[in-house]
Amino acid sequence: MNAIHDVVRALALAALLAACGAEAVVTAADQADATAVADTTTATDTAAPEDVTVDTAPLADTAPLADTAPVDAAGPPDALGPLAIALDDLCEPLAAGLCRIYVGCRAATSSASVAACREHTEAACQLGLDHARAQVAAGAVVYDPDAAHACLTRVDLVDCGPIDAMLAELGAECRGVFVGTVAADAPCAAAGDCAPGLYCAPDAGGACPGSCQPPPVAGESCDNRFAPCAAGSVCDLGVCVPEQVPLDAPCAFGDQCPAGAFCAEDEEPPRCRARRPASADCDDDDACAEGLFCAIVDFADAGSCAAKLAPDAACTPLLLGAQCADGQACDGAAERCVDRPRQAGDACVEGWEPCGVAGLYCDISSDTCEALPRHGEGCGLGGATTCQYGWCDAADGTTAGQCQAFAAPGGACADARECGGLDCVAGACGLDAATACHPDRRGLALGTGYELF
């Protein structure tokens, strides 16, 4: 185990994989609707659901980090700068900041849910510190207390927004907190052990420890879990391909193409082409120029590019494509463009017009947006398979269950989902050394490609 895998993964996955669930979109405008805990004295989410109130205070959980007094846990007092964060003092402010972002930024989140996140996340981080101290002492990983202060300052100040944008903003400040030192071909026990530019490759059977290797480049075999591509490339169908290609070049997916272009999959091989004008043939909105959509009638295989409708204009419910202005959708009953669902009580259609704000879900029994259930509340039925914080013990979205608190590190478990981002190892929540070196276990990946540390 190393500092990055143990501290960051224990902390981050506990706070983020659990907190984000299926909700991936938070807009900057949602900050006024977000809720958090300003009084940090609550330790656990123990109140009955009907007693838990939504705290609408501003998202301010921590004192300004500039006031942090120097401490000597990472070395002698004179070894730390005036604003440095010692390793032993990392968990509390990091847990507070991350839970503010990933739970408090959700709409209709109770203060008790944020408090529960902070308690569990800090405990998971402390578990990681037990291993991190030894790795830092052994020289496998270098911890930078000044970089930690800069990172925590950014975590404390970042605004609510889309999760990938928040992580991108944090990444520049936080990736230098822990730096691996293990050289190429040397053994590595965890994903962050290797020096910059290398990754920890498991053995042929996917087991740990592994060895530090340079990442595969464009044209070489890859695996997002075991062999991620080098910077500038992405793994597509087991082969590294360029992240960006020029206009008219072969493409594997739309994001490879430059601005104003799309990947024309009706060609062989597919190529990046300029987006098409009004009346041109299309089979997807991406094929049409800005301000246009692909109008497909009666579920045909293709249609033609047409101008998007004005706000609140009459629309055709069965016309495929995003025909309404940005931020609106076609109301099937009214046959008119209306604002997309954004708050509890708005009409929605799961899979067609879902609730567009993190913290809400589309209740399939009533076709309305509802707040995610809290600890102790029912879940599962109606499609609420994610809780505000904790896990839903229902088998799926068609059976009744209840939102449960995550087991503490070392607590009993039958499945990893009960552990809030930790592993379930031999019936207890913890960190699994057998998978610690897997590249996908490093940092705050969250499926976005970003890492915090």
Written as one string, the DSSP assignment of 56-119 is -S-S--S--GGGPPP--TTS-GGGS-TT---GGGSHHHHHHHHHHHHTTTSBT--HHHHHHHHH
Do the beta carbons of residue 34 and residue 162 sit within 8 Å?
no
Confidence check: pLDDT of 405 > 90: yes
Least confident stretch, 1-10, 149-158, 183-192 = 1-10
Lowest mean pLDDT, pick from 232-246, 303-317, 387-401, 416-430? 387-401
Which pLDDT tens digit goes with each residue over 19-48?
443 333 333 333 333 333 333 333 333 333
Contact indicator for 48, 376 with CB cutoff of 8 Å? yes
**Residue pair 295/316 in contact by the 8 Å Cβ criterion:** no
290 secondary structure, DSSP code: T
Average pLDDT estimate for 356-367: 84
Q: Distance of alpha carbon 265 from its chain centroid, rounded? A: 29
pLDDT at position 352, please? Answer: 66
- The pLDDT value given to residue 55: 37
Q: How far apart are CA 28 and CA 355, in angstroms?
A: 16
Question: Can you tell me the distance from the alpha carbon of 70 to that of 227, in angstroms, rounded to the nearest whole number?
Answer: 40
Position 192 scores a pLDDT of 81
Question: Does position 118 have pLDDT exceeding 80, yes or no?
Answer: yes
CB under 8 Å, gap of 24 or more: what pairs does 274-280 form?
274/247, 276/305, 277/305, 278/305, 278/306, 278/307, 279/304, 279/305, 279/306, 280/304, 280/305
Residue 447 has pLDDT above 50, yes or no: no
Q: What is the mean pLDDT of residues 216-223?
A: 93
CA–CA–CA angle 46, 48, 50 (5° rounding): 140
Spell out the domain ranges in the chain: 3-177, 275-339
Mean pLDDT of 268-295: 95
Q: Are 181 and 139 in contact (CB under 8 A)?
A: yes
Residues 217-227 have a mean pLDDT of 89
What is the Cα–Cα distance from 308 to 324, expressed in whole angstroms? 6
Average of per-residue pLDDT values in the chain:
77
pLDDT per residue as tens digits for the range 262-272: 999 989 999 99
Q: Has residue 246 got a pLDDT over 90?
A: yes
pLDDT tens-digit map of 45-95:
333 333 333 333 333 333 333 333 333 333 333 444 557 899 899 889 988
Model confidence pLDDT, tens digit, residues 298-338:
778 889 999 999 998 999 877 878 899 888 888 877 888 98
When pLDDT is averaged across residues 403-432 and rounded to a whole number, the result is 91
Report whether 369 contacts 346 (CB < 8 A).
yes
95-99, 190-194, 303-307, 366-370: range with highest mean pLDDT: 303-307
What's the whole-number mean pLDDT along residues 121-132?
Answer: 82
Check if the beta carbon of residue 128 is closer than 8 Å to that of residue 11. yes
Q: Considering the chain, what percentage of its residues have pLDDT values greater than 70?
A: 78
DSSP code, position 301: S
Percentage of the chain lying above the pLDDT 90 cut: 32
Q: How confident is the model at residue 110 (pLDDT cuts 50, 70, 90)?
A: confident
In total, the chain counts a number of residues equal to 453
Tell which wins on pLDDT, 244 or 356.
244
